[in-house]
Amino acid sequence: MVSAVLLIQKATPETITQFHDQLSNELPTLRGKWNFNFKIFRNNPYSIPQELAETATVAPESKWLYTLSPSYLSDSSISLINGKSVGVFTNLIKEEAGEHGHSVELSIPNSHLHKGATTDLNDPFDFFVAQKLQSLWTQRQLIRGDGGRIYELENGNLTIRTSNVFLHGNFRGLLVQIEINQNLCNVDDVSSFASTFETIRNKYGIPAGDLSCEVLDPKRLDTYADLIYQYSKILNF
């Protein structure tokens, strides 16, 4: 999956309704509702690199840690640190995921539990960071996406997710997450993504806004890593 994230800051109730109507005319498969939490952490300024510990009282540079927990990845979260490395965390053990009667994208292999490496009482990573890594990271912002809908088009090759974005309870725009199957675009040429997504945007009448289809590493695409990288670029209030 190759993704792009679009934020329409000027969206109004009318334009949102109109956009949903337009999408419905394409007869998409509705994949239910979704929401997300996007947290922004900043490095704790009192954690100082060792070589500066004697001289400085605060850290010289700012670093950022983002966590994204979309509801369609149940019990999972993606985190990006300092625009460099990404980790995907989940709480679900594979055998338990089966019990819930639905397939899940992400899960912990059974042997990890059986061999004693986890207690199976995992915390979400954002909670872990907020509880135990306070000396390193402090939470700055919580951005929530509510009332999201998922549309599946072109026989499942194109997924459009829309969600209203709130920062501290204030409406900040309409977020549109577009995901296309890899065979619909040229994965070897990352610079071509922009025009590919522009075509899709025009085809489905998605209002214009800030669009990000940047990827973390152009040579090695990674669905989750690229997605959170785009979120971090777009939800940068």
Partner 1 sequence: MVHQLSLVSSIAHGSYVQTVSTLQAFTGMLSPQPIATYTLLTKPHEVFKPKFEPGKVNQIEQYYMKCITTWSDGSEFDLASAVIKENGSSNVFSGRLFHAEDESVQRIWTLQISDIPIAGKNQACSAQTIYESTLIHTHTNVKSEENKIDAMDVDLEHKDKSDVKGDTKEKEEDKKEEDKKEEDKKEEDKKEEDKKEEDKKEEEKVEKKNDEVKHSEVNLEDGAETGSGHKDSFLQFLEDLGYETISQYWIKGIRFFHGDIVIEIFKVLVRDDEVTEPKEEGKIALKLLDESNTFQIRTYINIAKSTDIDLINQGTKELLRLQEFLKNLFKLEIPDRMFMDSRVQVRK
Quote the least distance from Cβ 85 to partner 1, whole Å. 4
Residues 231/38, Cβ–Cβ less than 8 Å = yes
Q: Which residues contact 200 (CB under 8 A, 6 or more apart)?
A: 158, 178, 180, 206
Residue 118 touching partner 1 (CB under 8 A): yes
DSSP SS3 for 97:
helix
Q: Are 120 and 93 in contact (CB under 8 A)?
A: yes
Nearest to 200 by CA among 154, 155, 145, 164: 154
Among 16, 81, 187, 194, binds partner 1 (CB under 8 A): 81
Give the number of other Cβ atoms within 10 Å of residue 85's Cβ: 10
Question: Judged by CB under 8 A, does residue 1 bind partner 1?
Answer: no
Radius of gyration of the chain (CA): 19
Give me the residue label for tokens 């939470």: 139
Please pick, from the candidates 15, 29, 135, 195, the single residue that binds partner 1 as defined by CB under 8 A: 135
Q: Which parts of 88-107 interact with partner 1 (CB under 8 A)?
A: 88-91, 106-107
Q: Between residues 118 and 202, which has the closer beta carbon with respect to partner 1?
A: 118
Lay out the site mask for partner 1 across 15-54 (x = CB under 8 A, - = otherwise). ----------------------------xx-xxxxx--x-
Residue 55 makes contact with partner 1 by CB under 8 A: no
Residue 123: Cβ within 10 Å count: 13
The residue type found at 171 is: F
Nearer to partner 1, 132 or 203 (CB): 132
Q: How many residues bind partner 1 (CB under 8 A)?
A: 55
Q: Which CB, 27 or 117, lies closer to partner 1?
A: 117
Which positions lie near partner 1, rule CB under 8 A?
Answer: 43-44, 46-50, 53, 57, 59, 63, 65, 81-91, 106-109, 111-112, 114-119, 121-125, 127-128, 131-137, 216-217, 220, 222, 224-225
